[in-house]
Amino acid sequence: MGLPLIGDKVPEFTAKTTHGVINFPKDYEGKWVVLFSHPADFTPVCTTEFVAFQKRYDEFKALNTELIGLSIDQVFSHIKWVEWIKEKLGIEIKFPVIADDRGQISELFGMIHPGKGTNTVRAVFIIDPKGILRAVLYYPQELGRNMDEILRMVKGLQVSDANGVAIPANWPNNELVGDEVIVPPASDCATAAKRLQEYECYDWWFCHKKLK
């Protein structure tokens, strides 16, 4: 079986976590999920990432989105690291962290890249309420992630789904259309002819509108 691609159903698995055993994606049916891997516990960049995710946890929750971390460390290591973050940094990590100590889940999702060693890279999988993979990001171990971009991706995907529109670069601060969204291109001549009267457009194939 190949690695999951955008538009695929994500692989099913059962895993031990800091919050107990989970059955994925069944336990998260009806919710968006950000599943992300980190190289190792008790490492500086990963610690900054966990703090950054937790500081935005309420924003993710407001979008009906759950966070799930993962590395190939054992659950005892995860528990001790999460305790350290709370004790030393004053941040309580409220989302579960998967202990993939045998690497089986990492293999399913392509989280281990041999050219970068035997631990997991910084992978991100955004999964919708139907268990469909909607977006994938891979960062190398040496580069921490931008959590605001991951949050923006979830928001953008939800807006696209709800309104049948596309999301421009750097939305909601796009250089051409600001916080507006892109109207899907016309698929026939009659619709194309009407577009310039119906929306603000640079041309019939590049129209945009405000969200209601």
Per-residue pLDDT tens over the stretch 22-31: 999 999 999 9
15 near 105, Cβ under 8 Å? yes
Percent of the chain with pLDDT over 90: 94
> What percent of the chain stands above pLDDT 70?
99
pLDDT band at residue 1 using 50, 70 and 90 as cut-offs: low
| Active-site hit among 46, 189, 201, 207 | 46
Query: In the chain, where do the E strands start and end?
Result: 13-17, 20-24, 32-37, 65-71, 97-99, 122-127, 133-139, 181-183, 200-203, 206-209
Q: What pLDDT, on the 0 to 100 scale, is given for residue 212?
A: 84
pLDDT tens across 34-63, in order?
999 999 999 999 999 999 999 999 999 999
* pLDDT at residue 24, as a whole number: 97
pLDDT of residue 94: 98
Q: What is the mean pLDDT of residues 81-93?
A: 98
Helix (H) or strand (E) holding 60: helix 57-62
- pLDDT given for residue 201 in this prediction: 95
- The mean pLDDT value for 140-165 works out to 97
Q: How far apart are the first and last CA of the chain?
A: 43
Name the helix (H) or strand (E) containing 196: helix 189-198
- The annotation status of 102 as a binding-site residue, yes or no, is no
Report the distance separating Cα 212 and Cα 195, nearest Å. Answer: 18
In the chain, what are the helix, strand and coil shares in percent, each to the nearest 5? 35, 25, 40
At residue 118 the predicted structure's pLDDT band, cuts being 50, 70 and 90, is confident
Give the pLDDT score at 60.
Answer: 98
CA distance 181 to 159: 9
Dig out the tokens for 16 from the structure. Answer: 């031990």
Angle at CA 184, nearest 5°, toward 180 and 187? 155
Q: How many residues does the chain have?
A: 212
Pairing of strands 20-24, 13-17: antiparallel
Would you call 46 a catalytic residue per the annotation? yes
Beta strands 65-71 and 32-37, pairing class = parallel
Whether the per-residue pLDDT at 92 is higher than 60: the answer is yes
pLDDT at 3: 85
Secondary structure letter of residue 31 according to DSSP? S
